[in-house]
Amino acid sequence: MRHTAAVPMRWSDMDAYQHINNVAFLGYFEMARISLFRERPEHDHRTGRRHGLIVASHEIAYKRQVVYSSTPLQVDVWITDVRAATFVCRYELFDHGKLAVTGSTMIVPFDFDLGRPRRLTPEEKEFLARYADEPAA
């Protein structure tokens, strides 16, 4: 299953060429990813420990330019490549129903109290499995 987020463009995202600047798309992906993980129960509140997720890397491919509009972009996000201590969020961004950008983010679970990566918990793996999907052909 994929999670879909409506992501607004900001006027400041536009560049001198009158289209959305390439760096803005990582922000759009981040907004969709945060929207997905808002559904996840907060580990910190249950355990008193500061666990979280950090970004290890990004990949992005631009398929077509996006011109600023008041119509929100649609970002589909899903999970792949779940390992013991990493997973990948994949994205497809649609502008007015047309695929414009694809990308991925490798995520690492992190223990902020210890200052180091950690393994995914069984609960986290179960949550991620709900959003396992493959891109549409």
Q: What is the pLDDT of residue 92?
A: 98
Q: What is the pLDDT of residue 47?
A: 47
Q: Give me the residues of the chain with pLDDT under 50, please.
A: 43-44, 47-48, 137
**Of 88, 101, 108, 136, whose CA–CA distance to 26 is shortest?**
101
Q: What is the pLDDT of residue 38?
A: 82
Q: Are 65 and 93 in contact (CB under 8 A)?
A: no
47's enclosing H/E stretch is helix 43-47
Q: What is the pTM of this model?
A: 0.88
What residue ranges define each of the domains in the chain, with the CATH number in brackets? 3-129 (3.10.129.10)
**Of 52, 125, 42, whose CA–CA distance to 83 is shortest?**
125
